[in-house]
Amino acid sequence: MKTIVIIDDDPNVLEGMRESIPWEKLAVRWLGEAIDGREGLHLIRELQPDIVLTDINMPVMNGLEMIAILREEGYAGKFVILSGYSDFEYARQAVRLRVDDYLSKPVTLESLKTVLSSVTERLEQDRSTESEYRQLQDQIKRYKPFVIQEWLKSAVTGSVSEYSDELPEIREIVAGWNGRDHRLLGLDLPFDHRWEAWERERNLLRFAVQNVTCEMVGKTFSSFDYVELHSRRFIVILHGEPGRPVRSREREAERLKAELASYLSTQLKVPATLELSPVLEDWRGIPEAFKRMFEQPEMAATPFSSPERSFRFYQELAYAIRRGHEEEARKIIDDFIGRHDSGCVFDEQGLKIWGAELWATLAYSLYDLGIELSLIAPTFDPTADMGEDVSPEMLRQWLERIVETITRSAYWTDNVKHRQIIDFAVRYVHEHYHENLTLGVLAEEIQISKNYLGQIFRNGVGETFNQYVTRVRMEKARQMILEGKLYIYEIAMKVGYTNVPYFSSQFKKYIGVNPADVLKNKS
């Protein structure tokens, strides 16, 4: 049975609704009431009802102000506005605050029954969707390629992984790394709103970068791991070969870096920045090498009293926020603050430099999710919010508020919430496009509802799963045609088609010309 509270400054309305409405027949249990928004705020925080029925115009705090605060806090219940007041501005605010329905005074039993029936049905749908989402996340986390990628990310950044080194898949990787030297090749794509190609085709571009990189690296290094930290930053871990001189591998790595940068720039039109780390004798030194590769010059120590300027902290916090994991973010913040003397005080200049570095890292990490941090928080200036003489405890509270501000903002849509799932599905397409790949195949692979997975994918990518698979296949086919090494029928087979005429018709539909005309147009 669903629960409800009612907020209204008219005692007669409260008494009438409490006493005269047969709540049990409506499958709703009355939990309590309040006479203004402030009292309502305390009541809802304490009781966590499923439904809140509230007036708009009330003393102390009106209904919309109360709703705004609760939405910022992450309250997920349903709001029904109870009012005889009609005003466009109020209606506009109600829409922005995701108010679920309206009841006009005086309330009739029939209208209340209709609204509650609609609202409770939506509650059930929301809970079913949330359950499917949790199940999908759980299934993905058991999928072997996902486990390996997540562990590789933690091995590069030094962040704590939920996947233990004791897992068989991870033990196998570690065994292969032990006894070798290693070197990191880092690729950074520009954080630039003017890069139109990225805005149009980000998924195809990131996997084109991966394909080219892996192909070129594989010609020089027999053992390597490709790690996508997020869609604009990639790391290739180059593993040495026992018995081969380090000096010769260093020259090969430098040559590879130059050739890869040239190919990405001239052939893919991708303005990537490439960096190489020094040779590492032990893979456990990878996080420190990674930090130094992308460390900005101003990250060096300053004469000011600032929080620890930790690239690892910035990255770990950004990763938790990207996934919308507030609890994980709080643990990262607690660990970071715990590394400071509780009695120390940070000065204004040091905090400004530290805040600017943190803001830049988060802005870079969130941008490819479709979130512009500048719209939520144009800058991070702890002293402007907390004044002078900021202590570690004050900074911890400020950081927690920043995390909540971002993850609970109006810009944090379901597409962002589902980003990990969408990224997994997109990666799966690029790894299996040559197979008999359908949405049903992927749904069965991770044991989740096909309809739910299809809905998430379409909302996040902007086209259906089948449309995206076809587009990926056609782009792969075009690349192979331009290479000029295979016949058309061979290319059709390599991208998953046994019927060559059908492949040709699909190719013309997506690319605009017949396969045979691609090389003609090039020349």
Domains and CATH numbers, the chain: 2-130 (3.40.50.2300), 144-294 (3.30.70.270), 298-412 (no CATH), 427-522 (1.10.10.60)
Residue with tokens 């005269």: 20
Which residue in 425, 434, 523, 446 sits closest to 474, CA to CA?
434
DSSP result, 186-213: EEE----TT-HHHHHHHHHHHHHHHHHH
How much is the CA Rg of the chain, to the nearest whole Å?
A: 28
Q: What is the mean pLDDT of residues 289-318?
A: 68
Q: What's the burial of 470, exposed, middle or buried (CB within 10 Å: 0-12/13-18/19+)? A: buried
Instruction: Quote the pLDDT of residue 474.
Output: 93
Q: How confident is the model at residue 200 (pLDDT cuts 50, 70, 90)?
A: low
Give the pLDDT confidence score for residue 382 in this predicted structure. 78
pLDDT at 183 over 90: yes
What is the pLDDT confidence band of residue 197, given thresholds at 50, 70 and 90?
Answer: low
Decide: 63 and 37 in contact? Cβ < 8 Å: yes
Which pLDDT belongs to residue 505? 93
Specify the amino acid at residue 350: G
- The whole-number average pLDDT for the span 15-23 is 81
Which pLDDT score, from 0 to 100, does residue 351 have? Answer: 83
Q: What is the DSSP letter of 283?
A: G
* Averaged pLDDT, 276-295: 86
Q: What is the mean pLDDT of residues 71-88?
A: 73
Q: Minimal CA–CA distance to 217: which of 229, 234, 232?
A: 234
Indicate whether 116 pLDDT > 70.
yes
Residues 13 and 61 sit within 8 Å (Cβ to Cβ) = no
Average pLDDT over residues 393-408: 88
- Here the tokens at position 441 are 């195949």
Q: Which of the residue ranges 193-197, 236-240, 517-521 would you say has the lowest mean pLDDT? A: 193-197
The DSSP result for 220-276, as a single string, is T-SSEEEEEEETTEEEEEEEP-TTS-HHHHHHHHHHHHHHHHHHHHHTS----EEEE
Residues 6+ apart with CB under 8 A from 168: none
- b/e 266-304 (16+ beta carbons within 10 angstroms → b): eeeebebebebbebbeebeebbebbbebbeeeebeeeee
Q: What is the pLDDT of residue 301?
A: 43
The answer for residues whose C-beta is within 8 angstroms of residue 343's C-beta and 6 or more apart is 391
Q: Which of 398-412, 425-439, 458-472 has the lowest mean pLDDT?
A: 398-412
Mean pLDDT of the chain: 81
Considering only 16-20, 38-42, 254-258, 454-458, which range has the smallest mean pLDDT?
16-20
Averaged over 135-163, what is the pLDDT? 72
Q: Is the pLDDT of residue 165 over 70?
A: no
The confidence band for 150, taking pLDDT boundaries of 50, 70 and 90, is confident
Residue 96, pLDDT above cutoff 70: no
With 0-12 / 13-18 / 19 or more C-beta atoms within 10 angstroms meaning exposed / middle / buried, residue 13 is: middle
Task: Please state which of the ranges 74-78, 172-176, 390-394 shows the lowest mean pLDDT.
Answer: 74-78
- Given a contact cutoff of 8 angstroms between Cβ atoms, the answer to whether 454 and 446 are in contact is no
DSSP state of 434: T
Report CA-CA distances (Å) from 356 to 298, 299, 352, 390: 11, 11, 6, 16
Report the alpha-carbon distance of residue 138 to residue 514 in Å, rounded: 43
Split at pLDDT 50, 70, 90, the class of 154 is confident
pLDDT at residue 304, as a whole number: 45
**CA distances, 307 to each of 302, 304, 336 (Å):** 11, 10, 9
Distance CA 164, CA 226 (A): 20
Residue among 188, 142, 133 at smallest CA distance from 167: 142
Cα angle 182-185-187, degrees, rounded to a multiple of 5: 155
Q: What is the predicted pLDDT for the residue at 62?
A: 86
Contact 234, 209 (CB under 8 A): yes
- pLDDT value, residue 315: 78
**pLDDT tier, 95 (very low <50, low <70, confident <90, very high otherwise):** low
**DSSP element (H, E) containing 358:** helix 348-367
Q: Please give the residue that has the higher pLDDT: either 185 or 309.
A: 185
User: 105: which DSSP letter?
Assistant: S
Percent of the chain with pLDDT over 90: 20
pLDDT recorded at residue 132: 65
pLDDT at 298 over 50: no
pLDDT in tens, 486-498: 999 999 999 999 9
The pLDDT of residue 299: 43
CB 100 within 8 A of CB 116: no
